[in-house]
Amino acid sequence: MKTIKHILFLLVALLFSSCYSHRAVGLLQERDDLPQYEPADYSEYRLRLNDELVYRLITMDETISKMMQGNNVTTSNNASYYRIYPDGTVELPFLKPIHVLGLTIDQAEDTIQAAFREIIPDAEVKLALANKTFTVIGDASSGQYDIYKDRLTIYQALAMTGDLFQQGDRRHVRIIRPQDNQEPKVLEFDIRTNTIINSEFYYIYPNDVIYVARSKGSFYKVASYSAFVGLVTSSVALLVSVLNYTESFIRK
């Protein structure tokens, strides 16, 4: 019986080190021992090589409108998709190549609309980014997700995936952000601190990859206290059965 007591004491002692606590996985924590990130100004996304643009041309001239649609590379609901070439230009029907690399969507829209108005005085252009997605890999619900709004935050992005898994390493979340003609930029941060808000890690941009590694020691942790109690109960029951069988065997 002393052996059982010793084992029970050991299992109970491990209880507090074997479950995930709020300090380990909670978000928006206000603690001095967590990293403190400085606020950073939001910068609009600027077009990069191989981005795909979708545009809609609006004009009262039905003949010109039909001609434009007939020359689309790919059409969907009268919208057209065009890729930005390595020289930074995009080629649209009836227009010379237009340089849009490094422009914001609004700037590119104004530039393309001005080019169309040289041949269609009442032309109105609506421009958007077709490849407006981000990717999640690692200890979260991996997949590719649409950026459904401007200024999508890291919290909103992860909520779309169903949040991080409990074994995910919240201390070293990484965003891999492509750069034109350069190595991708890797941003690493601790997502538990409340100073993430409005920092350089707060907003998600098109083509970002969010990587969540598995935390060290997660193999030895359980999801909740109830799960731990269930594990302890089943282990003790098995141990008692084995000891009772051993004692009865020795007595014989």
What pLDDT, on the 0 to 100 scale, is given for residue 138? 93
Confidence of residue 226 (pLDDT cuts 50, 70, 90): low
What pLDDT, on the 0 to 100 scale, is given for residue 70? 52
Angle at 250 between CA 245 and CA 252, to 5 degrees: 100
What pLDDT, on the 0 to 100 scale, is given for residue 202? 98
Confidence of residue 19 (pLDDT cuts 50, 70, 90): low
Query: Which of these ranges, 12-21, 133-142, 176-185, has the smallest mean pLDDT?
Result: 12-21
The answer to whether residues 131 and 105 touch, using CB atoms and an 8 Å cutoff, is no
Q: Which domains does the chain have, with CATH numbers?
A: 22-43+132-218 (3.10.560.10), 52-129 (3.30.1950.10)
pLDDT over 70 percentage in the chain = 71
Closest CA to 121 of 56, 61, 54: 61
> Measured between alpha carbons, how far is residue 221 from residues 10, 15, 97, 166, 232 in Å?
15, 9, 58, 10, 13
The answer to whether residues 100 and 113 touch, using CB atoms and an 8 Å cutoff, is no
The answer to whether residues 157 and 230 touch, using CB atoms and an 8 Å cutoff, is no
Per-residue pLDDT of 121-173, as tens digits, reads 999 999 999 999 999 999 988 999 999 999 999 999 999 988 888 889 999 99
Q: What are phi and psi of 115, to 5 degrees?
A: -65, -40
What pLDDT, on the 0 to 100 scale, is given for residue 148? 93
- Mean pLDDT over residues 164-189, rounded? 93
What pLDDT, on the 0 to 100 scale, is given for residue 250? 65
What pLDDT, on the 0 to 100 scale, is given for residue 133? 96
Per-residue pLDDT of 74-114, as tens digits, reads 344 445 689 999 999 999 988 999 999 999 999 999 999 99
Per-residue pLDDT of 20-75, as tens digits, reads 688 888 999 999 999 999 999 999 999 999 999 999 888 887 777 666 655 544 34
pTM for this prediction: 0.75
What pLDDT, on the 0 to 100 scale, is given for residue 223? 47
